[in-house]
Amino acid sequence: MYARMDRFLPDAHAQADHLTRPTTPHPPQNEERNVGAAVRSVLDVTPDQRGDVEVIVVDADSRDATVREARRAGASVLRASTPGRAPQMNQGARAARGNVLLFLHADSTLPSGYIRHVDASLKRRDAQWGCFRSIDTGLRNPLASFLINRAVALRTKILQKPYGDQCIFVKRKTFNDLGGYADLPLLEDVDLASRLATHTHAGPAIVPLDLKTSGRRWETLGVIRTTLLNQYILLRHAMGADIHHLASLYYRDRHRDRHRDCN
């Protein structure tokens, strides 16, 4: 989902070029149960900010009611010209009119008041990009949910390496200068964050709020197995393993999870 923000904090004396305009691109497939809440969380702003926020959902031929639910919630919906998370988000970014892009997953929701926090984060040190502090998976095991939340927050603070489920946001010009997301079948978020850090010579501006995101993968695979798989893929990627092979490993388990959920 791609959200455009035309303005975060109104300033009667500000020039148009100085206003933050966010758009949120969203790349769902078969997310009818989640996409509506995601869109509504982006549009949960004050009346004077509503015209400054744009939500674009780029759908990859969902077979369920994803498109209907996204439109009902207030998003503009595009049909993906090329299925895949990276090309779908790039397509949403090209269609956007805002000067700040927020990339929100279909199974995640933004916290209330996110606009002023994103605006403040980008104004700090003239930052070009950022992310939210951590994620709240809402697992049935509260200890596991807490540990995941703390681990993500610690990784982001110390290593300055956010993942896509933390809602990466970036100024449009900077995103375009980098050529957008690389056309990768996996870890496109890790690649973008790395290139952003190199290009801007700075880590992300961290919004001190957590996103709510689906914990279904953690619930189905288990916290330990999910963590080990994620770290294995990251390690193999750092060692130069073929990204398509790593994607097949990751999505093999993901498809197995969804099959179990349907049974």
How much of the chain, in percent, has pLDDT values that exceed 70? 85
Cα separation, 29 vs 101, whole angstroms: 20
Residues 79 and 116 in one domain: yes
Residues 188 and 146 in one domain: yes
Q: Is the dihedral of CA 249, 250, 252, 257 positive or negative?
A: positive
Task: Give the distance, in angstroms, between the CA of residue 90 and the centroid of all CA atoms in the same chain.
Answer: 13
Residues 132 and 89 in one domain: yes
Residues 182 and 92 in one domain: yes
| 59-63, 128-132, 145-149, 172-176: the lowest-pLDDT one | 59-63
Q: Is the pLDDT of residue 22 over 90?
A: no
Residues 148 and 166 in one domain: yes
Residues 59 and 6 in one domain: yes
In angstroms, the Cα distances linking 147 to 96, 136, 151 are 36, 10, 6
Cα separation, 120 vs 105, whole angstroms: 22
pLDDT in tens, 81-119: 999 999 999 999 999 988 899 999 999 999 999 999 999
Span 38-43, average pLDDT? 95
Cβ-contact 184, 243 below 8 angstroms: yes
pLDDT in tens, 190-243: 999 999 999 999 999 999 999 999 998 899 889 999 999 999 999 999 999 999
Q: What is the pLDDT of residue 185?
A: 93
Residues 209 and 220 in one domain: no
Residues 105 and 202 in one domain: yes
CATH number at residue 170: 3.90.550.10
Cα separation, 22 vs 98, whole angstroms: 5
Q: What is the pLDDT of residue 48?
A: 80
Going by their DSSP bridges, the two strands 205-213 and 129-136 should be labelled as: parallel
Q: What is the pLDDT of residue 24?
A: 67
Residues 237 and 160 in one domain: no
Q: What is the pLDDT of residue 19?
A: 37
Q: What is the pLDDT of residue 251?
A: 83
Provide φ and ψ at 62, rounded to 5°. -60, 140
Whole domain around residue 199: which residue ranges? 2-214
Domain count for the chain: 2
Q: What is the pLDDT of residue 51?
A: 79
